[in-house]
Amino acid sequence: MRRLIPALLLMPLLFCAVSAEDLTEKNYKQIRDSILPQPEEVEWRAIGWRNTLWDGVIDAQKEDKPVLLYAMNGHPFGCV
């Protein structure tokens, strides 16, 4: 049900295309909320990520733990 409610709120948008002429003060919040991520889409943020490999090395040395690196073209936090 938790996932169904946001989906239902977005239903009106499924039936109307948006063009450059369509953003108005009236639909501002509706369009904004349809673009912003839902909580389940940003659950990865709850992990105690370090921003860079070297930040990971610094903390791993301090905590005596292995470094787990997720490396992508474009920073994974930017998802680009």
Partner 1 sequence: MQKLLKEFVPCADEVWRLQNRQDPDCKFFMSWCDEGGQLNGDGEQTTRQGTYIVTPSGKFLGSNNENNNPPRMLQLMRKALDDYKKLDKKVRLRSDDPKEIAKQINRGESQYPADGLVLRCHSRDLPREKPVAAEEWAQKALNVDYCWFKKEEALRFMPKEPVKKLEFDVPQELVTRMARFNMVDNVRGQTESYSAEAVKEATLKGTIKDIKKGIIYVTFKGAVKMEQGTRSMNLQLLGEAEWDAKKNAWGKFEIVCAGTRAGRTQFNFRERDEGPAPIGFVFVIAGDTPPDKIAPAFLWQYGWR
Q: Is 3 one of the binding residues for partner 1 (CB under 8 A)?
A: no
Task: Identify the three-state secondary structure at position 55.
Answer: helix
Residues binding partner 1: number (CB under 8 A): 55
- Nearest-angstrom CA–CA distance, 28 and 24: 6
Site string for partner 1, 4-43 (x = CB under 8 A): ---------xxxxxxxxxxxxx--x--xx-xxxx---x--
Q: Which residue has the tokens 């003060």?
A: 25
- Nearest-angstrom CA–CA distance, 42 and 46: 8
Give the residue with the Cβ less far from partner 1, 1 or 63. Answer: 63
What is the contact surface with partner 1 in residues (CB under 8 A)?
13-25, 28, 31-32, 34-37, 41, 45, 47-61, 63-80
